[in-house]
Structure 1
Amino acid sequence: MSHPRLCWATIQLCFRPIASALLSLSLLSVFGCAAVPLEQANSLTSYESLTSHNGRLTKANYKVSSGDLGAIKTIYIAPTMVSGAAVHSIKNPSDRALVANVISRALCVGVSDHFEVVRSKEDADLIVHATITQIVPTNATMAGLSTATSLGASVFSSVPVPRLPMGLGGLSVEAEATTREGKQVGAMVWAKGANFMTTSARVSQIGDAYSLGASFGGDFSKMLVTGKSPFKALPKIPSGQRIKSGLGGKPKYPACDLFGRSPGLKDFAASQVGMPPSWTDKQRPTGGQ
């Protein structure tokens, strides 16, 4: 009869090489993230005089007029639209709408740090609209395998196993901010792919795009709030209102409730075990599908 401790040691010895191989496979990935090109949907009034940012994870062309933003007090966030290319890549309308909605929510919460968000564009000094230009689908099967591997490894070791660098999704978005008179004071064409180290694997075609949507909303809103590039400044501690909203609390301005409350810690926990975002984010999405 086998000794329990001997069996356990044998299992550990067998699993360690597998975990090590998976880690090596991850590290051999060229960048460890999905390659997503910058795409245009011709939704901006102008693409001229944009500054290029060619980061390892995020690529963007952007511009911002800090002088014009100085006189802005009120802002309106239009529901995010979805381009035909994104419609083609993600067939389920509710999935596309969920990604669009999380972008709008992140924009609304982000700009609330500096501007008053209003419900009507007629009452706003500045109007913000965004369009999803492309969604690179997450391979749900590979995401499920990654989750199973990570959870299995956690039984035998406290060292986290990175996500498999295959089947990663991505997102590209463009947005602009225009005055009541139609002058463009901020614009951005943005693309980012999921990476195997920090993007949780979720069993859904939009698992990665959903996470990246909040990232875009943060970048664009930060550019408007600071009047500077969001890619060069050091990270800062989020404001109290952003922390509260991120945990699912009441937003600073009622206009942001149009996009629903963040699922907060519930969604974070769900993402760690691979659950689709639709399981936790039940807000009825708004905007174009």
Structure 2
Amino acid sequence: MTKSGGALTKANLRVDASPLLAAQTVRIVPTAAQVRSAGAIGPEDFALVTNNIDRALCTGLSERFKVVAANQPADLIVRATVTDIVKTNRAAAATSTVASLGVGAVFAVPVPRLPIGLGGLSVEAEAVGQDGSQAAAMVWARGANMLTTRARISMIGDAYSLASAFGNDFARMLVAGRDPFHGSTTGLSLQKMKASLGGDPKYEACKAFGSASGLKGAVAGQLGLPPAWTDKGAEPVQAAHAIGASAAVAVPNGMLAAPSQTNQ
């Protein structure tokens, strides 16, 4: 695998452009969680994080591929596993939220978060062909940033926010057939904008992951509310699968750890 990433993201990746660019259909296996030291994070919270990855993947992959349901054949099969979550410190997040709301109301300027208690997320993912050969793989890790990641009063607040960032990065790699961290990037398409506002996805298969929280979620994020307050999660059948797949077990070797932050 080749080392890559950006200013905020650590990544190792492998990409074979030929099978990716030749593929027309893709199937998404619901993201699993294999996390060391899960602590007090419950299966419902894990399911919110993993489903947010799947939702972002489905929206991003829809830009070029036809996304098919779980019972249909596809040129590519995409699967991801959450390998680490650095918990957000809720007390620090609450303090940052109060400071942001107070100062923002008076001076109308953004206020950085406290540089403590920031969370993080690590994910491994691959895309394989019908014959089982690997067409692409990525090991991804990112920590919350005190300037760009909005504080949410939840242990998974930062991991939830970063989940969509991973989904976007991996989807861009598969769509373009190249390193997503280098080269030009495309703007937000009308379909992506519609999906981010809670509208219907391009393909029926994506409805399994539920709708984005839209404007309601954006307002809740500004107020620092937990993701569970506005994200209804996956459809019932998919949600049951996600909760079952989110058991905390030992992390496989080769994991790229999430950037460490002080969260006490």
1:96 maps to amino acid? F
Q: Which has the higher helix share?
A: 1
> How far has the Cα of 1:266 moved from its partner?
1.0
1:62 maps to amino acid? L
> How far has the Cα of 1:159 moved from its partner?
2.3
From 34, 42, 52, the equivalent of 2:3 is 52
**Structure 1 position 256 matched with structure 2 position 213:** no
| Structure 2: runs of 5+ lacking an equivalent | 247-264
Select between 272-281 and 234-243 the one with higher mean Cα deviation: 234-243
Report 1:11-22 matches (<5 A).
Answer: none
Name 1:184's counterpart in structure 2: 134
**Which whole-Å CA distance do the structure 1 matches of 2:183 and 2:216 have between them?**
30
**Which whole-Å CA distance do the structure 2 matches of 1:210 and 1:242 have between them?**
19
**Structure 1 position 126 matched with structure 2 position 86:** no
Cα RMSD for the two superposed structures: 1.3
When residues 212 and 171 of structure 1 are mapped into structure 2, their CA distance, relative to the original with a 3 A threshold, is same
When residues 90 and 180 of structure 1 are mapped into structure 2, their CA distance, relative to the original with a 3 A threshold, is farther
Name 2:19's counterpart in structure 1: 68
From 101, 106, 111, the equivalent of 2:51 is 101
State the percentage of identical aligned residues.
Answer: 51
TM-score of the superposed pair, with normalisation by structure 2: 0.87
**Structure 1 position 225 matched with structure 2 position 200:** no
1:69 maps to amino acid? L
Q: Tell me the secondary structure at the aligned position of residue 62 of structure 1.
A: strand
* Structure number with larger C-alpha Rg: 1
**Structure 1 position 83 matched with structure 2 position 30:** no
Structure 1 consecutive aligned stretches of length 4 or more whose deviation exceeds 3 Å: none
* 8 Å contact from structure 2 (residues 29, 70) kept in 1: no
Report 1:95-174 matches (<5 A).
Answer: 95-120=45-70, 122-174=72-124
| Structure 1: runs of 5+ lacking an equivalent | 1-49
Name 1:212's counterpart in structure 2: 162
TM-score of the superposed pair, with normalisation by structure 1: 0.80
**Which whole-Å CA distance do the structure 1 matches of 2:197 and 2:183 have between them?**
25
When residues 74 and 155 of structure 1 are mapped into structure 2, their CA distance, relative to the original with a 3 A threshold, is closer
**Structure 1 position 196 matched with structure 2 position 150:** no
